[in-house]
Amino acid sequence: MRHLYTLAWRFLVPLALLRLIWRSRREPLYRAQLAERLGCYGRKPDATRTGHPVLWLHAVSLGETRAAQPLLDALRQQHPGMQLLLTHMTATGRQAGVALLREGDVQAWLPYDLPGAMRRFLLRFRPHLGVLMETEVWPNLAQVCAALDTPLLLVNARLSARSAARWGAWPSLARIAFGSLTAAAAQTQSDAERLRRLGIDDVCVLGNIKFDRVSNPGLRELGLQWKLQAKRPILLLASTREHQGLAEEKLLLDAMPAELLQRVLLVVVPRHPQRMDAVHALLQAHGLKVVRRSDASPRADTQVWLGDSLGEMPAYYAMAEAAFVGGSLLPLGGQNLIEACAEGCPVVIGPHTFNFTHAVEQGVAAGAVVEAGDASAVWSSLLAWLSDARSLERARCAALQFSAAHRGAAEAQAGWIGQYLPVRLA
């Protein structure tokens, strides 16, 4: 089965490279260092020459890169001499990852999951330990690490029942991918049980490090400034996505009460930067007066403010009375609702939350999160808060308390990772 998997990758790689070039029209970073996608790194600096342990951390995209910050802070505090090799697969992840680097650290693309490319990657950088964030398990990567005696950990690990079933359909490939991992630190007991069934022998439960991301005072102040400029209540549609040609923004706009924009400013922040133009056109097609964040602050006659900036999500949450968090009206599993709660922004979320099942359950129990079955129910829940100041204030306090109550996973996972990290080399 692994040979068929590898053969499929060999056919797909040319298409994957063409797709990167296509996407680079709007996100030029996808054109950068294309050879790295095949495991060719040229003269890139080598962190292994420092004489300190080299930890390789893979954060595939923006969400995982943001989540990695408290983990890296804790690791650096516990292991001051540690050198970081940081890899990604998406442009947004790589762009955000720059802020996580320190002197002597190295950033690169992780190659596609071909045995030769993965072997070249590991022999080029020779990390003492590999750490994969959340769900990034690749069969050839895991087997090459095992062959080269490079310990490979899965941290902040989550595995939905849906994903576990997909892996279960390919048991021999799952045994290679998961059985070759050294150990895993799962977010919940349910995640741990699924990971064990797929072949990881050593699994512990250490919580979700997304609760540990510290609020940025500068971004929070920026959001509060925007709120003052708006001079009216603000509702946020955050991390909205599309699936099979259907956009969550369209579902929400079609269900939006006609009188809503007479009393609120609607802020829309799509999950993926390449969708900004399409979402802008969709908003205008609905006859709305739209201003982009990159062009101007919201004016008195602005009905919709389109958040087309990168790295300012906490500011958008800080400005809003309440937010819908996307990826959940369509079967995409939901996006990070914890980031909203950390800014005191209560959340409405759709029915598809398999990526955040436990966090949603906890948030609902705390009074910080409301589940909505469809787009109409999203607006009903948001407007219920706007119509009841006391209820909204209780939800805002509940959001802050919910996010604070579950902190500590980053320090725990850093301590667990440290068991596999060698002491300073002579």
Contact 314, 387 (CB under 8 A): no
Q: Spot the catalytic one: 27, 36, 64, 361.
A: 64
**The CATH fold of domain 2-207+408-418:** Rossmann fold (3.40.50)
Q: Of the CATH numbers 1.10.10.10, 3.30.70.1400, 3.40.50.620, 3.40.50.2000, which one belongs to the domain with range 217-405?
A: 3.40.50.2000
- SS3 category, 232: coil
pTM for this structure?
0.87
Residue 371, H or E segment: strand 369-371
- SS3 category, 208: coil
Contact 53, 421 (CB under 8 A): yes
The three-point CA angle 423-425-426 to 5° equals 130
One pLDDT digit (tens) per residue for the chain, 426 residues: 788 999 999 999 999 999 999 999 989 999 999 999 999 998 766 655 556 789 999 999 998 999 999 999 999 999 988 999 999 999 999 999 999 999 999 999 999 999 999 999 999 999 999 999 998 999 999 999 999 999 999 999 999 999 999 999 999 999 999 999 999 999 999 999 999 999 999 999 999 999 998 888 999 999 999 999 998 999 999 999 999 999 999 999 999 998 999 999 999 999 998 899 999 999 999 999 999 999 998 877 889 999 999 889 999 999 999 999 999 999 999 999 999 999 999 999 999 999 899 999 999 999 999 999 999 999 999 999 999 999 999 999 999 999 999 999 999 999 999 999 886 543
- SS3 category, 98: helix
The three-point CA angle 173-114-52 to 5° equals 105
C-beta neighbour count of 147 within 10 angstroms: 13
Contact 55, 84 (CB under 8 A): yes
Residue 304, H or E segment: strand 304-306
Among this protein's residues, is 339 annotated catalytic? Answer: no
How far is Cα 320 from Cα 335, in angstroms, rounded to an integer? 17
Contact 269, 241 (CB under 8 A): no
Residues of the chain with CATH 3.40.50.11720: 2-207+408-418
Residues of the chain with CATH 3.40.50.2000: 217-405
